[in-house]
Amino acid sequence: MDFKGSDTITGPRTEDVLPSTATAAVKVVIVGGFGVGKTTMVGAVSEIRPLTTEETMTQASIGVDDNSRIEGKTATTVAMDFGRISISEQLILYLFGTPGQERFWFLWNGLFEGALGAVVLVDTRRLEVSFDVIGRLEERGVPFVVAVNTFPDAPSHPMEALRHALDLPDEVPMVNCDARLRASSRDVLLTLMNYLHALALQRS
């Protein structure tokens, strides 16, 4: 948290500097449990090396709004990795790899409310860890797709069995992916955009 002085600040590499026209930004959130491949997916598609933004959660920010108690506060640092894809000279897509627990989400203003949509990354070895995340997205009305990150030692289940276990409506897209591969991760994002587009058509 201490500021190390501007001499030690390294900004973007020359090739990562955005043009002055780049003033419209959109974001997509990649959410899932620890070790499910969020950072890997962000890194696979990002044009910049993934960066990290963090926030400190104190007792006070958890809801005890009483300055007198700040003395005894416990602080937890919550980090989020993110990357960036330039869509055009004007439009930039940001991708945030977000911890699965909702109590961290409020730390960043409008993390989900402002996002175009979300990708829920699931690992079939620990399917239950995504139950709560999916429920929260449903409650908040955040459109999402489910990407099944295929680890070599993961049991392989037919997609329909996974859909049943996750109790997802037929319209919610589910895809297999390998988060390490750019093409595969890009296809997950395209699946999300196609789904959002279909929802937009439906509503108009």
Partner 1 sequence: MKTPRRERREKLPSPSSPAPDPGSAKGDPERLYVITGGPDGGERAALDLVTMVVACSTPSPTVQPEQAAILRLCRAPLSVAEISAYLRLPFSVVTSLLTDLLATELVESRAPIVRAVLPDRSLLEAVMHGLQRL
Ligand X SMILES: Nc1nc2c(ncn2[C@@H]2O[C@H](COP(=O)(O)OP(=O)(O)O)[C@@H](O)[C@H]2O)c(=O)[nH]1
Interface residues toward ligand X, by CB under 6 A:
32, 34-40, 97, 149, 151-152, 178-180
| Binding flag, residue 98, Mg ion (CB under 5 A) | no
Using the contact rule CB under 8 A, the part of the chain among 30-38, 86-94, 145-153, 173-181 near partner 1 is 86-94
180 contacts partner 1 (rule: CB under 8 A): no
Cβ proximity to partner 1, 152 vs 201, nearer residue: 201
Name the residue number minimizing CB distance to ligand X: 37
Position among 29, 30, 39, 123 found at the interface with Mg ion (CB under 5 A): 39
Tell whether residue 40 is a contact of Mg ion (CB under 5 A).
no
> Which residue shows structure tokens 């003395």?
71
Residue among 60 and 181 whose Cβ is closer to ligand X = 181
**Residue 179 contacts which entry, ligand X, Mg ion, partner 1, none (Cβ below 5-8 A, type-dependent):** ligand X
Considering the rule CB under 8 A, would residue 181 count as an interface residue with partner 1?
no
